[in-house]
Amino acid sequence: MLQLQAIRESKNEFITALKKRNIDAAPLLDKAIALDDKRRETQTKLDKTLAESNSLSKEIGMLFKTGKAQEATVLKEKTGVLKDESKVLNDTLTSVAEELQALLYQIPNIPHDSVPAGNTDEDNEEIFAEGDVPELVSNALPHWELAKKYDIIDFELGVKVTGAGFPVYKGKGARLQRALISYFLDKNAEAGYTEIQVPHLVNEASGYGTGQLPDKEGQMYHVGEDDLYLIPTAEVPVTNLFRGEIVKEEQFPICYTAYTPCFRREAGSYGAHVRGLNRLHQFDKVEIVRVEHPSKSFEALDGMVEHVKNILRELKLPYRVLRLCGGDLGFTSVLTYDFEVFSTAQDRWLEISSVSNFEAYQSNRLKLRYKDENGKSQFAHTLNGSSLALPRVLAGILENYQVEDGIEIPEVLIPYCGFSKID
């Protein structure tokens, strides 16, 4: 959430920057300032009315003590009027504050200067690519056919139990999935991230804290009776651990990693491009989350990018890194890098990770602060990244490692899964 003081001081710059998101932000920012003006004006009137009422109450007490009951009665009538005025002002203040808060929730984060302008993912900027695309056998298959051939993932069983987008992993497929989770967690731990386990459902406050609500409400599964949401990513519960906290400056950087299943409705996702593991409603992901000093957050972002690169190098998967354009940038992000693995059998790139810096946008929603060297409260910066999302990584391994008589396992994963080939 943008800070009101920043909106006031940098309104024109924000309007220009938000054009990268293809948003005309002028009406929203003008309305936010107008509502804040009204809130301040109402607060001033309320404070003045309450002060006058308190002063009169003291005077009434003195009049009664000195036997001037008639004068005290007159003033009591005036305090009654002030009390009514205070109630009206307090109701107005509450209403204006709620309207202002709801409006601020609708304004996305300001893109970083390096974010390119653009409308769709086709306008994203490739900044790095590495790895050789393997030469596959002539009868190479996409992963959903390989899964059926070697009986390692059953998509039909998932439909029977739940519905489309909920696959059942079997045998070596399940063991490979578990191996990837363990491998990712170990790599993150080696890089200094503390492993934690978090709830898979969150309350509404948590959804608002990290920006999934109200922006992505339609993409989240909602448990209506309990008013809870199934998490779309571990970012939500992990980052919300710090909601309302004041951390010590010497605690930076705070680094966590967590494995969770993730749940996304993905309404309207149909077609060949979402077959098999390409788009799921439930999938596994290992996440990395950082809480950083503002002066270090972009250095930390670069480090997270290098960390994911190293994992993909060890898996020996061809990949590229994209800097997202304004039109494809997430609502809460200042700057996002997407990682994509090349699927040789599908002849297309598959997104497998996003690494983002939110600066103080989430922290303002969360009220996540630290005390600076002068003892003043400041908002921390938050970052998160997939390290990694499993479905498309698994798809890339199955397709790029297929040979005539089976599917070879990346060397780095063999100690984790206990076998070197699926056949």
**Residue ranges at the known binding site for L-serine:** 233, 264, 287, 384
Return binding residues for ATP. Answer: 264-266, 351-354
Structure tokens at 321: 């890194």
Q: Is the dihedral of CA 174, 180, 181, 186 positive or negative?
A: positive
Within 8 A by CB and 6+ apart from 281, the residues are 163, 164, 165, 166, 263, 264, 265, 266
Is residue 113 within 8 A of residue 298, CB to CB? The reply is no
Is residue 155 within 8 A of residue 167, CB to CB? The reply is yes
Is residue 169 within 8 A of residue 414, CB to CB? The reply is no
Planar angle of CA 294, 297, 299, nearest 5 degrees: 130
Where are the extended beta strands (E) located within 172-227?
194-195, 201-203, 222-223
End-to-end CA distance of the chain: 51
Q: Is the dihedral of CA 323, 325, 330, 335 positive or negative?
A: positive
Name the nearest CA neighbour of 44 among 99, 114, 106, 92.
92
Return binding residues. Answer: 233, 264-266, 287, 351-354, 384
CA distances from 59 to 25, 47, 62, 103, 182 (A): 51, 18, 5, 43, 72
Residue type, 153: I
Where are the extended beta strands (E) located within 175-248?
194-195, 201-203, 222-223, 228-230, 246-247
